[in-house]
Structure 1
Amino acid sequence: MINKRLLIKNLLAHNNENSFYDKKRQLNLHSKEGKAKFLKHICALSNSNPFNNSYIVVGVEDDTNEIVGDDFFDDSRIQNLVNAFLENPPKILYENIPFPNLPKDKVVGLVTIKPKNKISFFKKSIHTIPAQTSFVRIGSNSSPTIEKIPVSKSNVEAVISIENNSRNSIENTLDSVLDFITIRHKDLPCHYKVFRENFVVCWAGQKRKFREQTFFSRVDIELVNEQVKLFYSNQDDVVITYDENSFHITEYVPLGLNDKTSFYPLEKVTFTFYDNGYYKMETKMLFEPPQYNKKLLHHIYNATLNNIQKLQKGQLVDEKEVLNIPSTLMLCFLNDFKDAKDKLIEAKTVIKNYKNSLAYVYFKESLRILRKMKYNYS
């Protein structure tokens, strides 16, 4: 079993990006340009590594190799993005890897691109990349090509060596469990569960009851023997259940127009563990957005846009109303106000610069929910 934190360290030990791995300061999948850049690298790495895994490490300074981390990225549907634009899409996996020197809300992202023997190319255009374009890795660059891509095994030996040197040990697993419980989450109730004698899941969170349902908040859940963070949120509430072979996380989001007193199930993620050392993750979207009176909502929508304009002009706006901007525009969009999402994205700068940093946290949370909705229903 591979220790993903150790794998990242071993990849970075190569220092420079090459034809089997790339590193990024952060991912930006909110814009067409950001999606195009990400897909370009996926396409190139896949085509250049038909017999071995290839990787993208997210949260690393390009020049210095410093591990600075990025936000927890829980988009299990990132595969849908790849499938939507690439012909012969590779299977990819995005994992969030905690590092001891990073704040609790920061992780290093690890994108694993599985090998395949067919050439990937863009089946439709995005941003400046036209349809039918294919990419390969030339050194550390992802470059377009019109020539036939040769089948290469040049990276197989190097990648297998790196992966073998990243295998886990009992000592690493025990150290990780103790670190999780006694150091990183010493201020929270912690739990662990061993599945199939191979997998150790640890979780920490503040337990509370709401209408006969037990929720965990300030939640951190890790598959410690692989150093993979399964879930993290300072804001959301989750329900955790498990049996002998599986672990279930049901995420709830508090919503409301003027307050957030109603809890709506957003998504259920199930991890099923097997005797052969593998596990499977299944995701089920549960969210049914609340519907509101259109006349009332139209009034609130206009008032919210007016508050954004005031912020852009440097005028005072009640803090509670500012904090409600992201969730209000999200609810408006989910109630058929088609421009509401664009208005939210346009307000990013003024929200990010607001004195209360929670405003930007709520902004990212609203976009995360909308992204999940898009990948499920588009």
Structure 2
Amino acid sequence: MINKRLLIKNILAHYDEGTFFDKKRGISLKTDSEKAKLLKHICALSNSNPENDSYIIFGISDNDNSIVGAINFDDSMIQNLVKSSLINPPIVSYENIQFPETKYYKTVGLLTIFEEKERTSFSKNIWKIKRDNSYYRYGSTSILIDDQFHINENNKQTVNSIKKYSINNLKGLIDGVQEFNSFSHPEYLPENIVFLDQFVLCWSAWRDKYGSKEYYSEIDVQLINENKKIFISAVQYADIEITEKQFKIIELVPLGYDENYNLYPLQETSINFQENGTYTIAKQIIFEPPSFDKNEIEELYMRTKSLTKKFKQGIFPKQENNFQEGIAQYYLICYLNGIKESRKDLIESREYLDGSAAEWQIECLRILNKHEETIANNEYKT
């Protein structure tokens, strides 16, 4: 099994940016320009490497290849962007790789662009890039395909050689477990598990109770074989199930109003190990929206609208401070129970909420997006 940390080190130690890899100091996909630039590099690397994998490494200094670290990033965001924006999109995988040099909340991002024999191009306009544009790597830059385009035949041999020297060893596994334990706070009770005598997985989490049941929060899961963070989340509540071949995390969200609060399963992340030395990671949205009395929901919506208006005017009653914390959540609950206009209210609440209320707003938008994604997928299947 390839140790992704070794892979990154071997690439950076022997090569500057070229036709099979690129490096970036950080990663962000907040604007169209940021999305377009990343897509251009993915398109170019895919076209220049039809017979081998290529890479973009994030969290690397441009000047001296030193590791500075990047924020942990969600693989699905890049996958969805690639699939929706490119013709003949390559399969891509973004992995958060832990390094001792980085702070706990930062990793080195490894974006693998798997070989795609068909030419990749843009399926739509985005920022300054036109539909049908196609790019390739010219040295360390990505440019429009022209008469000079040719494939570097040495890339396949080079990449295979790098992979060969990045295979795991026993010392690396032991060091990886010790490093994880040293990174984790003792109160988070770090543990390590060996699956099928092949895979070493470390995890830690804060234990907390909701009612009489124990749940986990601030979960960190790392596959030591690859020095890869498989799961890191600050979710408030999660359940963990472990079997001989599987490590499953079930995220739960507390939703409700007044005395009507409960935990609702949101998403499952399953790490499944196979006897043949491979593993898969499956994510499934399992959210079932809570249902409340129609009259109570209408009353909740009117109350939330009224207090939102007062909050914007700076005359929010002190006795309603706790209600302020839940404004975004109440709009979400109202939307899930049939008041469609509250969706707009939820989105607009980002403009005036701050502190913990703003954090809840972000979480509510995440729940909304996952719920609507499930609906869209179900409609597509039918």
TM range (shorter): 0.7 to 0.9
Contact 1:134–1:144 under 8 Å retained in 2: yes
Name the CA shift for 1:55/1:298 in 2 (closer, same or farther; >3 Å): farther
Contact 1:218–1:236 under 8 Å retained in 2: yes
Name the CA shift for 1:198/1:118 in 2 (closer, same or farther; >3 Å): same
Match of residue 169 from structure 1 = 169
Instruction: For 1:339, give the aligned amino acid.
Output: K
Match of residue 2 from structure 2 = 2
Identity of aligned residues (%): 38
| TM-score (norm. length: structure 1) | 0.82
> After alignment, is 176-185 or 241-250 more displaced?
176-185
Match of residue 143 from structure 2 = 143
Name the CA shift for 1:154/1:225 in 2 (closer, same or farther; >3 Å): same
Contact 2:196–2:245 under 8 Å retained in 1: yes
Match of residue 317 from structure 2 = none
Note if 1:125 corresponds to 2:129: no
Superposed counterparts of 1:200-215, under 5 Å = 200-211=200-211, 213-215=213-215
Name the CA shift for 1:186/1:367 in 2 (closer, same or farther; >3 Å): same
Q: Describe the superposition over 1:80-119 as per-residue Cα deviations: whole angstroms up to 9, x where unpaired.
A: 3211221111111111112223232222221111112111
> After alignment, is 38-47 or 289-298 more displaced?
289-298
Match of residue 265 from structure 1 = 265
Name the CA shift for 1:47/1:202 in 2 (closer, same or farther; >3 Å): same
In structure 1, runs of 5+ residues without a counterpart are: 311-317
> After alignment, is 158-167 or 143-152 more displaced?
143-152
Superposed counterparts of 1:347-366, under 5 Å = 347=351, 362=360, 365-366=363-364
Instruction: For 1:161, give the aligned amino acid.
Output: S
Q: Describe the superposition over 1:182-228 as per-residue Cα deviations: whole angstroms up to 9, x where unpaired.
A: 45333321222211211111111122343454311121111111111
Note if 1:91 corresponds to 2:95: no
1:27 is displaced (CA, Å) by 2.7
Instruction: For 2:215, give the aligned amino acid.
Output: F
Q: Describe the superposition over 1:6-45 as per-residue Cα deviations: whole angstroms up to 9, x where unpaired.
A: 2222233356422222223333234333322222222111
Note if 1:53 corresponds to 2:41: no
Match of residue 113 from structure 1 = 113
Distance 2:308 2:85 in 1: 35
Distance 2:260 2:7 in 1: 41
> After alignment, is 330-339 or 87-96 more displaced?
330-339
Match of residue 380 from structure 2 = none
Distance 2:302 2:162 in 1: 56
Contact 1:45–1:136 under 8 Å retained in 2: yes
Note if 1:253 corresponds to 2:281: no
Distance 1:234 1:260 in 2: 24
Secondary structure, counterpart of 1:67 in structure 2: coil
Contact 1:94–1:112 under 8 Å retained in 2: yes
In structure 2, runs of 5+ residues without a counterpart are: 315-319, 377-382
Name the CA shift for 1:26/1:183 in 2 (closer, same or farther; >3 Å): closer
Superposed counterparts of 1:232-251, under 5 Å = 232-251=232-251
Q: Which entry has the higher C-alpha Rg, 1 or 2?
A: 2
Name the CA shift for 1:243/1:50 in 2 (closer, same or farther; >3 Å): same
Secondary structure, counterpart of 2:252 in structure 1: strand
1:63 is displaced (CA, Å) by 3.8
Instruction: For 2:135, give the aligned amino acid.
Output: F
Contact 1:301–1:332 under 8 Å retained in 2: no
Contact 1:74–1:231 under 8 Å retained in 2: no
Name the CA shift for 1:8/1:212 in 2 (closer, same or farther; >3 Å): same
Distance 2:290 2:147 in 1: 52
Secondary structure, counterpart of 2:201 in structure 1: strand
Match of residue 190 from structure 1 = 190
Distance 1:255 1:243 in 2: 29
| TM-score (norm. length: structure 2) | 0.81
Note if 1:296 corresponds to 2:291: no
Match of residue 275 from structure 1 = 275
Secondary structure, counterpart of 2:187 in structure 1: coil
Contact 1:45–1:113 under 8 Å retained in 2: yes
Secondary structure, counterpart of 2:157 in structure 1: helix
Match of residue 199 from structure 1 = 199
Note if 1:339 corresponds to 2:347: no
Distance 1:14 1:333 in 2: 54
Distance 1:63 1:306 in 2: 52
Contact 2:75–2:93 under 8 Å retained in 1: no
Instruction: For 1:286, give the aligned amino acid.
Output: I
Contact 1:77–1:372 under 8 Å retained in 2: no
Distance 2:18 2:144 in 1: 16
Match of residue 315 from structure 1 = none
Instruction: For 1:143, give the aligned amino acid.
Output: I
Name the CA shift for 1:77/1:265 in 2 (closer, same or farther; >3 Å): farther
Distance 2:130 2:77 in 1: 24
Distance 2:25 2:328 in 1: 25
Instruction: For 1:245, give the aligned amino acid.
Output: K
Distance 1:66 1:161 in 2: 23
Match of residue 226 from structure 2 = 226
Distance 1:244 1:309 in 2: 57
Match of residue 44 from structure 1 = 44
Match of residue 101 from structure 1 = 101
1:246 is displaced (CA, Å) by 1.6
> After alignment, is 74-83 or 275-284 more displaced?
74-83
Distance 1:279 1:259 in 2: 43
